[in-house]
């Protein structure tokens, strides 16, 4: 295994533990909310679910980018990297829309335990998505400049692994925060 791929896997493992701790904190405090906003009273899983589909679709488009690189299809690589960036940006727009809607209703990180754990968990996830969007944008820029002729690139593979990780984390976060509240 190339050093770059090994290091991104170590990084993903450490970030997995970090997110696991945030998720466990949310789960631990889930039933302790006695007054104020809760996930059930504050969140709309249907709207967030629609924006989540954009993020999940971006895993498919980043995979297609990797396949294009393997097939030495540079125009496909450009197209699918761009599509991944757009889909990720739509997801971030949806998260920002939700946050500003909550702020407008007076729900903040300091409202109660729900606010603290919700904004911390979704905020760190959103930060990771934004970092991934920057990395994808750098890859796209390098591709437009003539790099990545294929059939392999550690950079494309490492960013893809990170992006799939971010998507996988969101599946767990969405399930714990949005779906569990409505069971």
- Flag whether 39 is in a domain: no
Length of the chain counted residue by residue: 183
pLDDT computed for residue 183 by the predictor: 80
Q: 140: closest CA among 90, 180, 59, 82?
A: 82
Helix extents (H) in the chain: 3-30, 39-42, 45-70, 74-104, 113-144, 154-174
pLDDT computed for residue 164 by the predictor: 98
For the CA atoms of 44, 50, 55, 61, the dihedral, rounded to the nearest 10 degrees, stands at 180
Q: 169: closest CA among 123, 134, 103?
A: 123
Percent of the chain with pLDDT over 70: 99
Helix 74-104 vs helix 113-144: angle between axes, to the nearest 10 degrees?
160
- Flag whether 135 is in a domain: yes
- Flag whether 14 is in a domain: yes
Domain that holds residue 113: 3-28+45-182
pLDDT computed for residue 33 by the predictor: 64
pLDDT computed for residue 148 by the predictor: 86
- Flag whether 36 is in a domain: no
Tell me the two tokens of residue 151.
Answer: 């059939």
CATH number for position 119: 1.20.120.80
| pTM greater than 0.75 (yes/no) | yes
The ranges of the chain with pLDDT < 50 are none
- Flag whether 84 is in a domain: yes
Q: 89: closest CA among 150, 33, 137?
A: 137
- Flag whether 34 is in a domain: no
3-state secondary structure of 182: helix
Structurally, how many domains does the chain consist of?
Answer: 1
Residue in the block written with tokens 């302790």: 32
Rounded distance between C-alpha atoms, residue 171 and residue 131, angstroms:
18
Residue 5 CA: distances (Å) to CA of 11, 31, 114, 140: 10, 40, 37, 19
pLDDT computed for residue 71 by the predictor: 95
- Flag whether 77 is in a domain: yes
109: which residues sit within 8 A by CB, 6+ positions away? 115, 116, 119, 120
Contact of 74 with 148, CB cutoff 8 Å: yes
Rounded distance between C-alpha atoms, residue 181 and residue 167, angstroms:
21
- Flag whether 40 is in a domain: no
């Amino acid at each position: 295994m190339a050093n770059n791929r090994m290091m991104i896997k170590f990084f993903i493992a450490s970030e997995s533990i970090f997110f696991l701790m945030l998720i466990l904190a949310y789960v631990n405090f889930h039933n302790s909310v006695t007054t104020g906003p809760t996930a059930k009273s504050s969140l709309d899983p249907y709207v967030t679910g629609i924006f989540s589909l954009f993020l999940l679709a971006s895993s498919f488009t980043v995979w297609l980018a990797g396949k294009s690189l393997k097939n030495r299809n540079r125009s496909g690589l450009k197209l699918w990297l761009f599509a991944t960036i757009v889909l990720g940006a739509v997801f971030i727009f949806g998260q920002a829309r939700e946050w500003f809607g909550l702020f407008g209703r007076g729900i903040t990180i300091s409202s109660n335990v729900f606010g603290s754990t919700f904004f911390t968990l979704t905020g760190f996830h959103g930060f990771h998505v934004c970092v991934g969007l920057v990395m994808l944008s750098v890859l796209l820029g390098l591709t437009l400049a003539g790099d990545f002729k294929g059939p392999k690139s550690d950079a494309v593979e490492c960013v893809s692994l990170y992006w799939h990780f971010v998507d996988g984390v969101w599946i767990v976060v969405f399930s714990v925060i949005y779906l569990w509240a409505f069971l």
